[in-house]
Structure 1
């Protein structure tokens, strides 16, 4: 085991984890940031640019992370470790393997090779990942380059092209209202691809009525596959069971999500709930960051249905502020206790 006790163990090196590290750096707090081998596991992997982030709009995700890491490293209080953390646990406040643990919250992180790190706080910035529907061939091959889940993040660059929504779900009514803002004269009316007959139920028919009122064309033929356009062209061809197809510059859909590091979440005693649209998220998280387990924090997508880089950055900054406040209070308690002793 390493002899260093860090102020924080930050598991995840996306926008949330990096923002947490930057905030802690401003108060000279030590921390280790764990990034998975070969930078695997980032939710925006495959996207060409980060959007809707001040001063970094249209920056490639890998470049965004490089700049952030370079700025954090200048403070000299952060270690970046490439490791797949497989286990986390809270340590008892006693001498453990050479560590004199006087405070009540110390945590140990272990990677797949058996290496261990100890910190006073642990931050789960591991996010979530989409579960892509398998029933539509070609969906995976078009995600996320031609199928966008967030119209704040993507869509503007292709607003001159035809656009469509896949399926009829609770997400559609909201997405349809947003999508009309991106409709232009050259794009023509948006299309709802229901992927088969629309059920004759009151909720579905009400959604259909709302979508029609927004000017959508309704396409009920069954989709057999999605075929991406070949570069330098962009977009996707929606192929139907009769062999005919419709071209759109992009589609919007919001598949459900699961938490990326569910085993770590379970090991730390946190509960998980399912959002009706966005899928899994950690339950009972106050202010979007403070969990029911003292000393354990969530930064980013795992604690909110509002999953975006900007929200992740904000939550990371808030995590850093609260951790710093807690560390200061704990340090004061230790000083007072030592004087009284």
Structure 2
């Protein structure tokens, strides 16, 4: 079958949740997924009622098994490389050249983090190099903690992380771009600003032990929060004309609709609140809204 009511690009938490809502709505759905979620290295998921502390892979495995029970929902292992608008819907092309059509699209493809070229950073990402205090802050509370960021975002992130630990250092990895006022406010809260460039992160199985700087100095550390750039996994801006926010997210309205009729988006690609629970909630709502749009078109 090559024609569907809905194609969901991305089969992680948001995509699976949307798939369940649509499967229960008796819609013919195709979920295309490569099996590489951004949190695949993270050992435990937190701040998610009924699932707190479970490995993310465990949660997604159960989720997929449950969605697979709805026989109108099909899965395809692949990577979407191109999307296009047709007169009566949309066309999706995978890396292998396979073509699928649908009346509606849900973009749940997540984002790709652009990690710095620092040895040890990638190995620690999601384990002791962290993106979210709500997901991981409790587990490293009151520990010797660092923040890897610079400028305004570093200042705001430092204010937040101070809630979880008072033993906090901001690492700008080069000359600080903080204002004098921001620097003084951090100093008043005993948050040191370290401008040394990082040479390497020493770790054991992803658990940080220390930072080594290019000048030879070292800094013992238990956890490092990082604000790093990202990019969308698929080019919905050029292909479909979806609007992108200043921060780089797909712009959606309160109903998870993009600016392109028939195209919805949910999960990490639309919000800075990157959590499993949030992705599942958005996916569930997006599925319901797509079904409503299909229903409305029948009358």
- Flag whether TM exceeds 0.5 (same fold): yes
Partner of 1:258: 231
The correspondence for 2:289, drawn from 310, 319, 322, is 322
1: distance between equivalents of 2:182 and 2:293? 47
Determine the C-alpha separation between the residues in 1 that align with 2:195 and 2:90: 53
Alignment map for 1:181-220 (pairs within 5 Å): 181-183=163-165, 189-198=167-176, 203-220=178-195
Stretch of structure 1 that moved more, 252-261 or 164-173? 164-173
Aligned to 1:54: 49
The structural deviation recorded for 1:122 is 0.8
**C-alpha separation between the residues in 2 aligned to 1:137 and 1:235?**
12
Provide the rounded CA distance (Å) in 1 between the counterparts of 2:127 and 2:242. Answer: 34
Question: 4+ residue runs of structure 1 moved beyond 4 angstroms?
Answer: none
Unpaired segments ≥5 residues, structure 1: 93-104, 333-341
Structure 1 or 2, whichever has the larger Rg, is 1
Residues 208, 35 of structure 1: CA spacing in aligned structure 2 closer, same or farther, 3 A cutoff? same
The 3-state SS of whatever aligns with 1:313 is: helix
Report if the CA contact (8 A) 2:143-2:167 is conserved: no
Q: Is the 2:255–2:289 contact (alpha carbons within 8 Å) kept by the matching residues of 1?
A: no
The yes-or-no answer on 1:122 pairing with 2:105 is yes
SS at match of 1:176: helix
Residue 81 of structure 1 pairs with residue 76 of structure 2? yes
How much has 1:315 moved relative to structure 2?
A: 1.5
Aligned to 1:227: 202
Tell me the residue number matched to 2:92.
109
In structure 1, which of residues 175, 184, 197 is the aligned counterpart of residue 157 of structure 2? Answer: 175
Equivalent residue number for residue 27 of structure 1:
25
The structure-2 alpha-carbon separation of the partners of 1:71 and 1:266, relative to structure 1 and needing over 3 Å to count, comes to same
Contact 2:149 2:228 in 1 (8 A): no
Count of residues in Structure 1 that have an aligned counterpart in Structure 2? 299
Q: Is the 8 A contact 2:149 2:227 kept in 1?
A: no
Question: What residue ranges of structure 2 are gaps of 5+ in the alignment?
Answer: none
When normalised by structure 1's length, the TM-score is 0.80
User: For residues 59 and 158 of structure 2, what CA distance do their matches in structure 1 show?
Assistant: 30
Paired residue secondary structure (1:272): coil
| Larger CA deviation: 249-258 vs 116-125 | 116-125
Matching residue of 2:85: 90
Q: Secondary structure of 1:211's match? A: helix
Deviation at 1:56, TM superposition (A): 1.5
1:267 matched to which residue of 2? 239
Report the TM-score when normalising by structure 2: 0.91
